[in-house]
Structure 1
């Protein structure tokens, strides 16, 4: 019987072994244990696509659950507050309190009295619930633990809805209620969102940017995950896998999964350099299919032209001067400003230093050069 592949190259799914995020997770656990005054009870996580933002939210939820906290997931659509107030939080309250106490006991026959029939509590004078009142009702049911609210894809949230959520959380924090809020999203989208006045509280949250996993942590992840799955990986193979995946959490899982599959086909229980090297091209191809293609789907021709220019000018992933890009496109540098700003907001480009641009996502250059049919005429 073949051992099960322990690598998980699926967006938002927690890996078998979490690489390079131990200190962040430990800080969060301490923040929950500290009390309402901890700065780690309001966190804002940013990072490129596939950098592990959703995975970190999953890990934070698990860590909170271990301490007995109740998790509440929020979805950034136009009904966010309504769903929280009238669906998500009432369900959490019911889970904590058991059967509702707002009904009169019924259906019981008592000798000498007769049949008692159930009726709803006739008191209709209660004010309509609000997000704040629902959160306070849930918090009142908890003893020594709190409420963790998580919000993914923050950049897609409606400003007014986000303002109402932030106001509610801040209100409870002011009264020393055990509550925490962790939100995650793309860097440029978050920056744009936080420019609005209604996001003041979110703006003051502890800001954490998820970058690439360092080489040694990546090597350790390949070793530990492979061992957990019931196989071994050679030291050189683990280093090569870390090199190919360039510290990008999604490509780390992808590289490990493909190398594991190659070992299965080769009928070996040990992953060697041969298996890792054999899947390099497939890692790049799948990164293009699963990461780059969706990222480029709605990019207009003017921005695509800039991306292709950078791909042509870049040498081994090196940053490219804006002036060189403009020269290749036969335009003045300031003519690129609007498209440049949009590409930064999309999380496709970064500014490694003034006057230069580079791709955020690994292997974007290879994907573009291998797919010239997408290039605008």
Structure 2
């Protein structure tokens, strides 16, 4: 009679396990029946301890524990950055225990078996913990990585006069844009894991699933594919479009300064538009060399002017003239500094300085009379 009672007891437990009536009963049954193919890393309490719940916890209790702990240990709230590992542990525990299928595999076969059910392993990409946090809370602490199409970079050659005076002009270029009726050519493909890749799932052993990514150019985004030979977009996903933009060259802009037009660049399906970036390149000037906000130039004078002094009007980059008056002896390679005659300093009312280096033009020969005069003077 006693043996029949025990037999009946085990039959009832087995029925509860098979029908999965209650997770607590299922865990209780696991206490009587544990599979033999458990991995060496098996620890049936490690993840439960990370969330501070017991093994009989319901899914609602697990979710509540994750909500509380992830807020408490989120890196944006923690002054001690060493606590980041605690946040990752909490997220990793919920990633498995919050999924009934993964939780079952974890209880039966251990951590590695549960982790291998998903290609995107959280221990290899900690940023996934933030993605899961965002999905769970629907906002709050945001660590968002925006997918963006490549930027279009265009170099423009400008002379010093344009950079001194400022200028407005138009630039026309072509960019790749999405086909106008691309939505008609997009089909749902669950196996697409992102742009250019599909996820292939294989069962390598009982309880062990391997997922690999393979190249597939027809995948354009997660779970989205491109319909080949789609009549709505006969030239493919992309087509060229002419764009005209007006550039404002500010006074005082420098070599390698950038003018950025946000989201005016290349388009790609599933991505935010790229930017158009114009990079200023300064043409070589026949008179001036620019060093930061200062201008440098050479100026030739005769030996007579060098000795006796001179007053000359010099044409300036602004289009006006400046008077140089020097009545003392001028030495070869001597430099004269003229204040506020350099380049405009961007976003100010100030200017750099102009540096004039004098080059003395010596006569190729002297007459005897000239030599006698010079000898008498010296």
Normalising TM by the smaller chain, what interval? under 0.3
Higher RCO, Cα 8 Å, sep 6+: 1
TM-score where L is the length of structure 1: 0.19
TM-score where L is the length of structure 2: 0.19
More helix by share: 1
More strand by share: 2
